[in-house]
Structure 1
Amino acid sequence: MVRKLSACETMGSATTICTDKTGTLTLNKMTVTKFFVGKEHIKAESNTSISAKVLELFHQGVGLNTTGSVFKSTDSCSSFEFSGSPTEKAILSWAVLKLNMDMDQVKRNFDILHVETFNSEKKKSGVLIKNITDGTIHAHWKGAAEMISRMCSHYYDREGNIKPLEESDKVECDRIIEGMAASSLRCIAFAHKQVTKAEQEDHEHMHGNVPENSFILLGFVGLKDPCRPGVKKAVEDCQNAGVNIKMITGDNVFTAKAIATECGILHPNLEVDEGAVIEGEEFRNLTDEARMERVEKIRVMARSSPFDKLLMVQCLRKKGHVVAVTGDGTNDAPALKEADIGLSMGIQGTEVAKESSDIVILDDNFSSVATVLKWGRCVYNNIQKFIQFQLTVNVAALVINFVAAVSAGEVPLTAVQLLWVNLIMDTLGALALATEKPTEELIKKKPVGRTAPLITNVMWRNLMAQALYQIAVLLTLQFKGESIFDVNKKVNDTLIFNTFVLCQVFNEFNARNLEKKNVFEGIHKNKLFMAIIGITLVLQVVMVEFLKKFANTERLNWGQWGICIGFAAASWPIGWLVKCITVPERPIFSYLRLNKRCYNE
Structure 2
Amino acid sequence: MEVVDVCAGRVRTHNLDTIAAELSPLLISLITEGIALNTNGSVYHPEGQSEPEVFGSATERAILNFGVKLGMNFDEIKSKSTIFSVSPFNSRRKRRGVAVQLHDSQVRVHWKGAAKTILASCQWYMDKDNIAAMDQERIFHFEKIIDEMSKEGLRCAALAYRTFTDEAFPDIPESNLVLLAIIGIKDSCRPGISRAIQQCRNAGVKVCMVTGDDLLTAKAIAMQCGILRGTLDEPANTAILASEFASMSEADREEIAENIVVMGRSSPDENLLLLEALRKKGHVVSATGKGIRDAPSLRQANISLAMGIGGTAIVKECSDIIILEDNFTSIVKVIQWGRFLYTNAQRFLQFRLTVNASALIICVVVAVHSHEIPLNVAQLLWINLLNDTFGAWALASEPPMDNLMRRPPVRKGEPFITNLMWANVLLQVSFQVSALLYLNFHGESILKLENKSLDQANKVKNTVIFNCFVFCQVFNEVECRTSYQGNTFSGILKNHLFLGTILVNVILQIIVIECLGIFFYTARLNLKQWLISIGIGFFSISLPPERRSYIRRKRLIKSWTCCYRKRLKENNLEADVDKSEE
- Per the normalisation by structure 2, the TM-score is 0.90
Please name the residue that 2:56 is paired with.
Answer: 84
Q: Is 1:530 the equivalent of 2:499?
A: yes
Q: Identity rate of aligned residues, in percent?
A: 43
Please name the residue that 1:598 is paired with.
Answer: none
Change in 2 beyond 3 A, CA 1:270/1:49: farther
Deviations along 1:369-425, one digit per CA (max 9) or x if unpaired, are: 112212222222222222222111111112111212222222212222222212211
Please name the residue that 1:318 is paired with.
Answer: 280
Matches within 5 A, 1:10-25: none
The structural deviation recorded for 1:440 is 2.2
Task: Judge conservation of contact 1:38–1:220 (CA < 8 Å) in 2.
Answer: no
List structure 1 segments (4+ residues) > 4 angstroms apart after TM superposition: 582-587
Equivalent residue for 1:112, pick from 79, 83, 90: 83
Task: Judge conservation of contact 2:428–2:540 (CA < 8 Å) in 1.
Answer: yes
The structural deviation recorded for 1:529 is 0.3
Matches within 5 A, 1:67-216: 67-76=40-49, 78-97=50-69, 99-133=70-104, 135-158=105-128, 160-195=129-164, 200-202=167-169, 204=170, 209-216=171-178
Please name the residue that 1:548 is paired with.
Answer: 517
Task: Judge conservation of contact 1:38–1:217 (CA < 8 Å) in 2.
Answer: no
Q: Which moved more, 1:307-316 or 1:55-64?
A: 307-316
Equivalent residue for 1:257, pick from 208, 213, 219: 219
Please name the residue that 1:245 is paired with.
Answer: 207
The structural deviation recorded for 1:581 is 3.6
Task: Judge conservation of contact 1:35–1:222 (CA < 8 Å) in 2.
Answer: yes
Task: Judge conservation of contact 1:462–1:579 (CA < 8 Å) in 2.
Answer: no
Letter in 2 for 1:395: A
Letter in 2 for 1:170: I
Structure with larger RCO (C-alpha < 8 A, sep 6+): 1
How many Å separate the matches in 1 of 2:401 and 2:10?
54
How many Å separate the matches in 2 of 1:195 and 1:481?
106
Q: CA RMSD in A?
A: 2.0
Deviations along 1:83-108, one digit per CA (max 9) or x if unpaired, are: 111111111111122x1111222122
Letter in 1 for 2:207: I
Please name the residue that 1:49 is paired with.
Answer: 22
Please name the residue that 1:414 is paired with.
Answer: 376
Change in 2 beyond 3 A, CA 1:437/1:224: same
Equivalent residue for 1:520, pick from 480, 484, 489: 489
How many Å separate the matches in 2 of 1:427 and 1:309?
47
The structural deviation recorded for 1:38 is 5.3
Task: Judge conservation of contact 2:287–2:298 (CA < 8 Å) in 1.
Answer: yes
Task: Judge conservation of contact 1:465–1:578 (CA < 8 Å) in 2.
Answer: no
How many Å separate the matches in 1 of 2:302 and 2:10?
47
Letter in 1 for 2:333: T
How many Å separate the matches in 1 of 2:218 and 2:232?
13
Q: Which moved more, 1:314-323 or 1:340-349?
A: 314-323
How many Å separate the matches in 1 of 2:239 and 2:200?
19
Please name the residue that 1:305 is paired with.
Answer: 267
Structure 1 gap segments, 5+ residues each: 1-29, 588-601
Query: How many matched pairs?
Result: 547
Q: Is 1:331 the equivalent of 2:273?
A: no
Structure 2 gap segments, 5+ residues each: 450-456, 559-582
How many Å separate the matches in 2 of 1:382 and 1:395?
20
Letter in 1 for 2:225: C
Please name the residue that 2:533 is paired with.
Answer: 564
Please name the residue that 1:350 is paired with.
Answer: 312
How many Å separate the matches in 1 of 2:180 and 2:231?
35
The structural deviation recorded for 1:39 is 5.3
How many Å separate the matches in 1 of 2:463 and 2:473?
16
Change in 2 beyond 3 A, CA 1:346/1:71: same
Please name the residue that 1:14 is paired with.
Answer: none
Please name the residue that 1:383 is paired with.
Answer: 345
Please name the residue that 1:15 is paired with.
Answer: none
Equivalent residue for 1:272, pick from 225, 234, 238: 234
Letter in 1 for 2:109: A
Deviations along 1:98-152, one digit per CA (max 9) or x if unpaired, are: x11112221222111101122222221100111112x111111101111111111
How many Å separate the matches in 2 of 1:378 and 1:111?
58
Task: Judge conservation of contact 2:11–2:22 (CA < 8 Å) in 1.
Answer: no
Letter in 1 for 2:53: E
The structural deviation recorded for 1:239 is 0.6
Q: Is 1:33 the equivalent of 2:4?
A: yes
Matches within 5 A, 1:407-556: 407-487=369-449, 488-556=457-525
Change in 2 beyond 3 A, CA 1:302/1:39: farther
Task: Judge conservation of contact 1:325–1:343 (CA < 8 Å) in 2.
Answer: yes
The structural deviation recorded for 1:308 is 2.6
